[in-house]
Structure 1
Amino acid sequence: MTEFIPPGTRWFNLPSPFPMKRGGALHGARLAYETWGTLDAERGNAILILPGMSPDAHAASNPANPAPGWWEWMIGPGKPIDTNRWFVICVNALGSCKGSTGPASVNPATGEAWRLEFPELSIEDGADAAAELVRGLGIDALACLIGNSMGAMTALALLNRHPGIARNHINICGAARALPFSIVIRSLQREAIRNDPDWNDGHYSDARYPENGMRMARKLGVMTYRSALEWDGRFGRVRLDSERRDDDEPFGAEFEIEGYLEAHAQRFVRRYDPNCYLYLSRSIDWFDLGEAHGGSTENALAEIRNLERALVIGVKTDILFPIQQQEEIAAGLRRAGTETRFLPLPSPQGHDAFLVDTERFAPAVTGFLRTLHSVSLLTDKVA
């Protein structure tokens, strides 16, 4: 059981006990986060970023950790999320193994890792934890809440459960509930991990780690994070060089795309805790914003009434969180009275486009935040 904590991580202690939606509570729990920029005197220029399932809180380089972050091109002075203007916070998800409390963390009651004794985890738990962080930093209302992928789900739960916590919102490749296709993919990922003998009902070690299960889970994930259009354009039917093939292995890898998936998987295994993977994956499948609103997503979105503006971005080639899910979010926020722009992008990279398609995502985020900047300047002048 290992946690993978980036240098320069900061921690926020959650209230103890911290109640969980599906029962149980955490004691001595904490959230990992990092910040960029300066919080203004009114504490009104804060932006909170809620990332997807795999990333840590290190979204961009900073003095405490100069290594490039997972959204390096998006955050910094003069970048789309301009830290000359905004105070930016990125939080690692509750349940993760990258600094925030999760199954790989020590249970203070036993002195041992939580493993499968960790309480059942929901997206709503992550939203409540993020709300505690925002308030703990003395911020009454975020200037903007930004969520990507799983983080976009968490953002919707945060807005729904904590009215007024943000004035504006950017929802990127998000969803108000999990759809059957994405559920079945994640179910197969969890099955691959659980069927690895080294998983051992969650009692694995560094010496006996469910590597094959994690490899297969990651490969299944990467298949859905990108698109068939990108695979065809990048790899086609190009075959591996002879030195990269194992001709003695029956049915071994022959194509470049197979080599790519294997390399991607190898970079992931042993850098993510399998039990954390299982918990977070299941929390995504369980998520349904309409659950507490008579099963109606439309009614749940209509309850988000305190937003001024929203930008909802989807990708036309996304098969994991398909474009109609972002269209649904945008329509629901409009019905709630929020001035909302829906932006369907033709990025070929699929779900992960927000990580790599700078050409399309940078102008979209820049333009939206500049509008908020202009409103702020206008308010200052009037005052």
Structure 2
Amino acid sequence: MASARKILNLDRPFPMRRGGALQDVQIAYETWGDLSFCNDNAILIFTGLSPSAHAASSTEDPAPGWWEDMIGPGRPIDTRRFFVICVNSLGSPFGSTSPTSINPATGQCYRLTFPVLTVEDIARAGHEVVTSLGIKKLAAVVGPSLGGMTVLAYCALFPEGARALVSISSAARSTPFAIALRSLQREMIRKDPAWLEGNYASDAIPVQGMRLARKLGMITYRSAKEWLQRFGRERANAERKPGDPFGIDFEVESYLENHAVKFIGQFDPNCYLYISRAMDLFDLADHGGSVAEALRRFTVERALIIGVETDLLFPIEQQQELADGLSNGTRTVQFARLASIQGHDSFLVDMDRFRPVITDFLAELKLANP
């Protein structure tokens, strides 16, 4: 599948929503498919907290993407019909300007001098990419989890920016439960002695803090029902390390450990702190006085809201709130309530349920040159 990996370099300051501005901003993104003559077939995808812009494989990069089963020829987001753009979130360490980037004013990494990051900043960075490609209106803007929040921010900031939206396992704002969990994850990182107030070296990151934060995250990304079905009380195969009476006994512990170790080498701790807090700070009510009023102001013609019944982080009631708020009688709104047992991560693994819903919704989008 043809693809292009690019970086947009802005030649003007990028003002941040909560103050400050970034200079020489870079926004990394990938594209698949071809833009139509009328520029009306573009779909913009925002990611969750940790993925890069590499959502699908291509001839340029054959490595599987984080949404491999969703994007491509004949897949739900069909690249024979749509021009697909996926952006690396501002603040994320995979090519876009982030706390790991060099501050041109000092010649040093931003680290904690990076301005407060918001979901709106991520949305605006995505819009910069869209504008640079000559696209005036997207066919659809799509995102799961944090990406779904960014979809909402995009539609609030750019009312005429998209004809349709797809929000997956997301919400207009985080619940106290989700905020508490992410707050504890951030504290785990900051309490690691190796964090050094964010001034750790690249080869001496706060490993233990990241490891524990990732484990807690993994627990909340899936459901208790799946943990029971998948692992039960199965014992770990590996022998316990000598002198460690409280080491790994169960296979579920081994699973968490393996995923935590893998994540440590992939994601920068300061970036994690910034993006995690951005999710907590987001409140769609800031764009209208209430969530209901903000949704009423959206101008999209069609909307698909997908929620999962076992999602701990973004309960199904929050998806229902979005669907109800968008149902103003003038637009088509579809609410898909899925019974996946994989919890919040269902959009990554339960393709049998997600593919048909997204396929049917996008198939009904009218294009000038289908």
TM over 0.5: yes
Aligned to 1:4: none
Shift in CA distance, 336/146, structure 1 to aligned 2, threshold 3 Å: farther
Alignment counterpart, residue 160 of structure 1, candidates 150, 156, 162: 156
Alignment counterpart, residue 309 of structure 2, candidates 307, 310, 316: 316
Shift in CA distance, 15/339, structure 1 to aligned 2, threshold 3 Å: farther
Q: What displacement does 1:96 show?
A: 0.4
| Deviation larger for 200-209 or 323-332 | 200-209
Residue 276 of structure 2 corresponds to residue 276 of structure 1: no
For residue 179 of structure 1, what is the amino acid of its counterpart?
T
Alignment counterpart, residue 302 of structure 1, candidates 282, 296, 304: 296
Distance 1:76 1:244 in 2: 43
Aligned to 1:63: 59
Q: What displacement does 1:206 show?
A: 3.0
Q: What displacement does 1:208 show?
A: 2.1
Aligned to 2:288: 293
Seq. identity, %? 55
Q: What displacement does 1:47 show?
A: 0.5
Aligned to 2:359: 366
Q: What displacement does 1:9 show?
A: 3.4
For residue 361 of structure 2, what is the amino acid of its counterpart?
F
Residue 85 of structure 2 corresponds to residue 92 of structure 1: no
Q: Deviations over 1:34-85 (max 9, x none)?
A: 0000001000000111010100000001121111111111111111111111
Shift in CA distance, 336/30, structure 1 to aligned 2, threshold 3 Å: farther
Q: Secondary structure at the match of 1:84?
A: coil
Distance 1:349 1:134 in 2: 33
Q: What displacement does 1:269 show?
A: 0.2
Shift in CA distance, 28/322, structure 1 to aligned 2, threshold 3 Å: same
CA contact (8 A) 2:55 2:86 kept: yes
Q: What displacement does 1:152 show?
A: 0.5
Alignment counterpart, residue 215 of structure 1, candidates 211, 218, 242: 211
Shift in CA distance, 339/227, structure 1 to aligned 2, threshold 3 Å: same
Q: Secondary structure at the match of 1:335?
A: coil
Q: Secondary structure at the match of 2:74?
A: coil
Alignment counterpart, residue 246 of structure 2, candidates 248, 251, 258: 251
Aligned to 2:341: 348
Q: What displacement does 1:131 show?
A: 1.3
For residue 282 of structure 2, what is the amino acid of its counterpart?
F
For residue 109 of structure 1, what is the amino acid of its counterpart?
A
Residue 321 of structure 2 corresponds to residue 338 of structure 1: no
Distance 2:37 2:124 in 1: 25
Alignment counterpart, residue 202 of structure 2, candidates 195, 199, 206: 206
CA contact (8 A) 1:8 1:65 kept: no
Distance 1:244 1:73 in 2: 36
Distance 1:139 1:380 in 2: 15
For residue 317 of structure 2, what is the amino acid of its counterpart?
Q
Aligned to 1:25: 21
Distance 1:18 1:230 in 2: 43
Aligned to 2:46: 50
Distance 1:237 1:345 in 2: 27
Q: What displacement does 1:316 show?
A: 0.3
Q: What displacement does 1:380 show?
A: 6.2
Aligned to 1:76: 72
Q: How does 1:160-239 map to 2 (within 5 A)?
A: 160-239=156-235
CA contact (8 A) 1:11 1:32 kept: yes
Q: Deviations over 1:186-226 (max 9, x none)?
A: 00000000000000000001332100000001001111111
Which portions of structure 1, spanning 4 or more consecutive aligned residues, are displaced by more than 4 angstroms? none
Q: What displacement does 1:14 show?
A: 3.0
For residue 264 of structure 2, what is the amino acid of its counterpart?
V
Q: What displacement does 1:330 show?
A: 0.7
CA contact (8 A) 2:99 2:271 kept: yes
Please give the TM-score of this superposition, normalised by the length of structure 1.
0.94
CA contact (8 A) 2:38 2:369 kept: no
Q: What displacement does 1:248 show?
A: 2.8
Q: Secondary structure at the match of 1:266?
A: helix
Shift in CA distance, 240/119, structure 1 to aligned 2, threshold 3 Å: same
Alignment counterpart, residue 99 of structure 2, candidates 91, 103, 118: 103
Residue 145 of structure 2 corresponds to residue 149 of structure 1: yes
Q: What displacement does 1:247 show?
A: 5.2
For residue 265 of structure 1, what is the amino acid of its counterpart?
A
Residue 318 of structure 2 corresponds to residue 325 of structure 1: yes
Please give the TM-score of this superposition, normalised by the length of structure 2.
0.97
Distance 2:60 2:68 in 1: 15
Unaligned 5+ segments in structure 2 are: none
Tell me how large the CA RMSD over aligned residues is: 1.5
CA contact (8 A) 1:302 1:335 kept: yes
Q: Secondary structure at the match of 2:208?
A: helix
Distance 2:11 2:306 in 1: 34
